[in-house]
Structure 1
Amino acid sequence: MDGIQLEIMWSNLISIVSEQAKALQRIAFSPIVREAGDLATALFDSEGRMVAQAITGTPGHINSLAAAAKQMIAIIPPEDIYPGDVLITNDPWLSAGHFFDITLLTPIFRNDKIIGYCGSTIHHTDIGGYGVGAGARDIHEEGLWIPVLKLYERDKPNDTLHKIIRRNVRTPDAIFGDLGAQTSSGRIGGERLNAMCDRYDLADIDELAEEIISRSEKATQDAIRDITPGTYHGETSFDVPGGEIITLKTAVTIDPDAGEILIDFEGSSAPSKLGINVVMAYTHAYSTFAIRSVLNPDLPNNAGSLAPIKVKAPKECIINAQYPSPVNARHVVGMYVPFPILKALSQVIPERTLAEGSGAVWTIQVQGHDQEGKPFTSSMFNYSGGMGARATKKGLSATCYPTGVSAVPIEVLEASIPIEFTCKELLPDTGGKGLYNGGDGQKIGFRMRSGAEWALNAIPSRLKTQAEGLEGGAPGAAGGFQINGVASNAAKKIAMAATDEVLMMTPGGGGMGKPA
């Protein structure tokens, strides 16, 4: 395919998926989608291969969405899909790793033929069950499990499924508002792709998709061949709610002959009794993100560029959760997955890696009744610590790495639920010292103004361990979590009195290099 023509059409595809994401954010009810960008949108070819993704999104959603599409159309094949159908699932092992992330897949028809699919995954406010926390004992306590089904059939709602969802969640209007936003964004993507096909007189996008995917795969393989071959090891340890220490170990093998990278997590911690276990799709998502971010980040992120990166982990492992392991707080461990990989790669491409950061975002969810007695469940809201120092720059403060999700503004939260923030400020000098310092953490305090008892799901990590520095850099400061001035590290939903106040001090990132 002509290079100029390909570049023009590639730009069109990026515009389509980005418009999907913007439409989704504009319409969504949930603040974590609307304000924080906790979402993914992507375009797939007729085989379910991801061709393009939107710029907005998180690695855990985007790269797991890439795998979800193929698995969904394997369960409901194209011959059973009709114009106006919309597929849905929140199966953790098929999509993004816990029930709160719901994936929708919309077929794109042209002349009665499926030419592709628009997909989206977003975090929903509530899915029933335990809530966003680590306290469930198995997955069936965590909420409503939606297998691969049709949310809409030939443009008509699947009434049975709609009734089941509505009856099993605490905030049905918010859930269906967000599902409506996903449905609308998928239809917009389909309309725009058909308009592009009209513009360039294309019957389908098969040739275009094959060109993009094959070029992306070859470019990724070429980048792998530029790295010194061998096997490199990395390890990271961190504490999770309840004080348990988790260790992740990696062996990263560079194989230039095959043009592949293999990441092996043999030796990592065993499964946890808490809901912090990680399904392989989510582990794969953050593993491929770590490799892609240092290998050749300018390449498109699609089925081709992801194909040469292989990931494996033993079954008896915290990052290869098996049914019926609880997984609702899987990000607490999953967001640490890039760190041992980066440590391994620092031995061969140190100029592209960074020191350990604070790790997983601190996730908070509050539930209760407002002043009028109406129930509320907050969307999950996140706060991050400092990012690790980079090879030639200091780490960013209060920055969510590796997820990239933004913090929901406190003004938005105060307007949507009866919460009052007492402070939100950076914590100076909590980043590790080095030639380049790690990023600083932050301090956030809040209480509820409902005048009634409420429930708190909080999932802090790194309250005891510290983000390690690299090349002689000092570690970042550990975090702190207090209720009414008393340290707390409960791994369960906490019953709170009306006047209780929470104070969080998020960890700092590790430094890079010995201080000058």
Structure 2
Amino acid sequence: MARSHPMDGVELEILWSNLIGIVTERAKALQRIAFSPIVREAGDLACALFDQRGRMVVQANTGTPGHINSLAFAGAHLVRLFKDRCEPGDVLITNDPWLSAGHFFDITILTPIFDGEKLLAYIGSTIHHTDIGGYGIGAGARDVHEEGLWIPPLKLYERGKPSAMLHDIIRHNVRTPDAVFGDLSAQVSSGEAAAEHLVTLCERYGIADIETLSDEIISRSEEATRNAIRKLKPGTYHGEAVFDVPGGEVITLRTAVTVDTESGSIIVDFDGSSSQTTTGINVVLNYTHAYSTFAIRSCLNPELPNNTGSLAPIEVRAPVGSIVNCAYPAPVNARHVVGMYVPMPILKALHQVMPERVLAEGSGAVWTIQIQGRRANGEAFTSSMFNYSGGMGARAGKPGPSATCYPTGVAAVPIEILEAAMPIVFDRKELRPGSGGKGRMQGGDGQIIQFHMLTEHPWLLNAVPSRLDRGPDGIDGGLAGAPGRFLVNGKSVSEARKLTMQAGDVVLLETPGGGGYGKPG
């Protein structure tokens, strides 16, 4: 029997802790059972619970900002599109870049949670899949249709049965179907388990659904965020970040951050930033919003729950057709190359408001490497994307951590895993001493990675390094970090396109160091 009495603080805390436990447990289970090392080893995923209105109520304690906050949009879109059309056993899917996380590799699964025939809520996850066909993770495709399989919002399962047609379409459009369906199955099964736990929770505490609970959580989160904004100095503050990307193109991100203490809101406007480009580094607004809100909330009130309520007071604007709000059919597969720089100009603007809480520029985007080729027996392989970070920018009171990428938080796939999964040998993996910028607090150092392939066949290299010409800026008088270097057989390379490599070729990466904070002593 459902209860109707008001929810007190003790009851709210008990139910909130239970929701956190359900979602976090499912995210960790998903990470354990995923086929893809980029999920299993690097934690490139997000998991969240949504109410009947498609509002993100609670996220797991693990995940990456680009996935988590983009999942808030993806879940809301799927709930809107399938409103009153879901039945027990249905599972929804999409990787539409403009509706979800910004490129085809990130597939969102949303499972409606039913108690009998009554809809209670939704559980959603987004993970990076190893393969989605098409060009691969690099920036060389000329439009989005060259980049891989586009899955519009559809039902992957209907009344508990797989959609045979959709499964066949996916299977025939990817290079490694067993791995792709292994990861899809991990997402689906983790959602099913979360659904069972939520139904049990509702029965245990006698609640008909989570709508009253979600209202309480979201309204409290929003009000707490607005109150934190009201304590800031009102005004409009400007920041700019300039960096080079594959092919040598220079990108500028400009922000105007307006703090409105009367309404308790912040507007981040990217007017004046670079226009979208012909290479696949363009960013959809969802992804821009994800990293913008992360940058603000990590400085403003990081201890608050991250949900629809805490995100509501932050508005993100960018001109359509800009590099951070690209228009169809712009290529987007390497959107992280620009997207992970989004916090940098915002932090420079916030330095004028809360200097003790920001950090200097870091290396920016992780350097992503994807390899395709054939083993000695002719069997094809596609590497899981492996990410290498540079140094993190220094903080006001602490140096920047080395080989740590802000803002993504994703880890590198261990070299032992990569060497076991494909014919690759890593000759070096070590810190790059002295690459962090000097300052009162020094920026973190980058790292050095060298590898070659054990194959007699030519192989393909998708590499998207950035900051090869200009290192990360210091702040408050701190010096810049060292730029990176990307070498093939000892020669510098900066290409947006996929490279054809030969047996015996040696690849060397030297990632940038982070910027320093404050004038050197």
Scaled to the shorter chain, the TM-score interval is over 0.9
Cα offset for 1:450?
2.1
The one-letter amino acid paired with 1:46 is: Q
Please tell me whether residue 22 in structure 1 is matched to residue 9 in structure 2.
no
The one-letter amino acid paired with 1:130 is: Y
> Aligned partners of 1:253 and 1:114: how far apart in 2?
40
> Aligned partners of 2:405 and 2:115: how far apart in 1?
40
Please tell me whether residue 430 in structure 1 is matched to residue 435 in structure 2.
yes
Cα offset for 1:461?
0.1
Cα offset for 1:171?
0.3
Please tell me whether residue 349 in structure 1 is matched to residue 364 in structure 2.
no
Give the one of 68, 72, 81 matched to 2:78. 72
- 1:391-435 alpha-carbon deviations (Å, 9 max, x no partner): 110001000210000111000011111111010000011000000
- Counterpart in 2 of 1:385? 390
- 1:185-204 alpha-carbon deviations (Å, 9 max, x no partner): 11111111111112211111
Cα offset for 1:110?
1.7
The one-letter amino acid paired with 2:12 is: L
The one-letter amino acid paired with 1:65 is: L
> Aligned partners of 1:4 and 1:451: how far apart in 2?
65
Please tell me whether residue 506 in structure 1 is matched to residue 511 in structure 2.
yes
Please tell me whether residue 118 in structure 1 is matched to residue 118 in structure 2.
no
> Aligned partners of 1:114 and 1:95: how far apart in 2?
23
- Counterpart in 2 of 1:459? 464
- 1:314-373 alpha-carbon deviations (Å, 9 max, x no partner): 113100010000000000000000000000000010010000000000000000011221
- Counterpart in 2 of 1:44? 50
Q: Is the 8 A contact 1:39 1:120 kept in 2?
A: yes
Q: Is the 8 A contact 2:54 2:80 kept in 1?
A: no
- Counterpart in 1 of 2:106? 101
- The secondary structure found in structure 2 opposite 1:80 is coil
Task: Write out aligned runs for 1:286-297 (5 A).
Answer: 286-297=291-302
Please tell me whether residue 230 in structure 1 is matched to residue 243 in structure 2.
no
Please tell me whether residue 56 in structure 1 is matched to residue 34 in structure 2.
no
- The secondary structure found in structure 2 opposite 1:233 is strand
- The secondary structure found in structure 1 opposite 2:341 is coil
- Counterpart in 2 of 1:401? 406
Q: Is the 8 A contact 1:476 1:511 kept in 2?
A: yes
> Can you give the 5+ residue segments of structure 2 that lack an aligned partner in the other structure?
1-6
Identical aligned pairs, as a percentage? 69
Please tell me whether residue 308 in structure 1 is matched to residue 310 in structure 2.
no
> Aligned partners of 1:178 and 1:371: how far apart in 2?
27
- 1:275-320 alpha-carbon deviations (Å, 9 max, x no partner): 0000000000000000110000000000000000000001131000
- Counterpart in 2 of 1:359? 364
- The secondary structure found in structure 1 opposite 2:172 is helix
Q: Which moved more, 1:16-25 or 1:358-367?
A: 16-25
Task: Write out aligned runs for 1:74-93 (5 A).
Answer: 74-77=80-83, 79-93=84-98
- The secondary structure found in structure 1 opposite 2:77 is helix
Cα offset for 1:257?
1.1
- The secondary structure found in structure 1 opposite 2:194 is helix
Q: Is the 8 A contact 2:88 2:116 kept in 1?
A: no
The one-letter amino acid paired with 2:145 is: H
> Aligned partners of 2:248 and 2:422: how far apart in 1?
30
- The secondary structure found in structure 2 opposite 1:373 is coil
> Aligned partners of 2:276 and 2:211: how far apart in 1?
42
Q: Cα RMSD between the aligned structures?
A: 0.7
Q: Is the 8 A contact 1:410 1:421 kept in 2?
A: yes
The one-letter amino acid paired with 1:244 is: E
- Counterpart in 2 of 1:217? 222
- Counterpart in 2 of 1:186? 191
Q: Is the 8 A contact 1:110 1:203 kept in 2?
A: no
> Aligned partners of 1:357 and 1:476: how far apart in 2?
8
Please tell me whether residue 272 in structure 1 is matched to residue 277 in structure 2.
yes
- Counterpart in 1 of 2:256? 251
The one-letter amino acid paired with 1:355 is: A
The one-letter amino acid paired with 2:296 is: I
Q: Which runs of 4+ in 1 moved over 3 A?
A: none
The one-letter amino acid paired with 2:332 is: V
> Aligned partners of 2:304 and 2:372: how far apart in 1?
42
> Aligned partners of 2:298 and 2:241: how far apart in 1?
19
The one-letter amino acid paired with 2:188 is: T
- Counterpart in 2 of 1:172? 177
Q: Is the 8 A contact 2:245 2:466 kept in 1?
A: yes
The one-letter amino acid paired with 2:248 is: G
- The secondary structure found in structure 1 opposite 2:288 is helix
Q: What TM-score do the two structures reach when normalised by structure 1?
A: 0.99
> Can you give the 5+ residue segments of structure 1 that lack an aligned partner in the other structure?
none
> Aligned partners of 1:139 and 1:188: how far apart in 2?
35
Q: What TM-score do the two structures reach when normalised by structure 2?
A: 0.98
Q: Is the 8 A contact 1:110 1:204 kept in 2?
A: no
- The secondary structure found in structure 2 opposite 1:114 is strand
> Aligned partners of 2:12 and 2:455: how far apart in 1?
56
- The secondary structure found in structure 2 opposite 1:263 is strand
The one-letter amino acid paired with 1:97 is: G
Give the one of 1, 8, 12 matched to 1:2. 8
